[in-house]
Amino acid sequence: MRAKVLVLAATLSVLMTVPVLAHHSFGSEYDEKKPLKFENVTVTKLEWTNPHARFYVDVKDAKGVVTNWNFELASPNVLKRNGWTKNTLKEGDKVTVMGTAAKDGARLGHAQTVIGADGKRLFAGSNTADGN
């Protein structure tokens, strides 16, 4: 029971986070009622670009079908001000990502928490209200 409570609390702490304000409406693009969590997935590409850095991961479903998902991060500038470099995430890295799914059904998510293979939790552009 205690473990379940802790898991619930941890989940809530992730979902309670406030997206960093961006150049677009968060609520019009993403559905906070659709949480995503992909564990131990492989980064296939990083785009260190504006207005958002993006990384793509291959995700295998229960039937073994692999799909590629696009995750939006904050802008590179916001990430750099929070300790990232262009090499923080690289193709081939294993990560766990938690975030929010796009409203329109695209394989697109807003990353709120990224955990590297070493267990280190990376600022993803969503766990501070003043990320600039």
Partner 1 sequence: MKNKLTGGITTVAALAAALFLLQAPADSQAPAGKAPDAKAPAKGGGKGKGKARPTGPTPRTADGKVDFSGIWNGGGPVGDVGQGLIAGEEISLTPWGKKIMDSRQSKDDPEANCLPTGIPRIAPYPWRVLQTSTHIFYLFEGNIHSFRQIFIDGRKHQADPDPTWYGDSIGSWDGDTLVVDTIGFNDKFWFDFRGHPHSEQLHTIERIARPDLGTLDIETQIIDPVAYTKPFKIKFQATLRPGEELMEYICQENQQDAHHLVGPAGLP
Give the residues lining the site for partner 1 (CB under 8 A).
Answer: 8, 11-12, 15-18, 20-29, 32-42, 47, 49-52, 54, 59-61, 70, 72, 75-77, 80-82, 101-104, 106, 108, 123, 127-132
The minimum distance between CB 72 and partner 1, in angstroms, equals 8
Cβ atoms of residues 19 and 75 within 8 Å:
no
Cβ of residue 91: shortest distance to partner 1, in angstroms?
Answer: 16
Query: How far is it, in rounded angstroms, from Cα 70 to Cα 101?
Result: 10
Q: Which is nearer to partner 1, 58 or 90 (CB)?
A: 58
Omega within 30 of 0 (cis) for the link into 19: no
Does residue 33 sit in helix, strand or coil?
strand
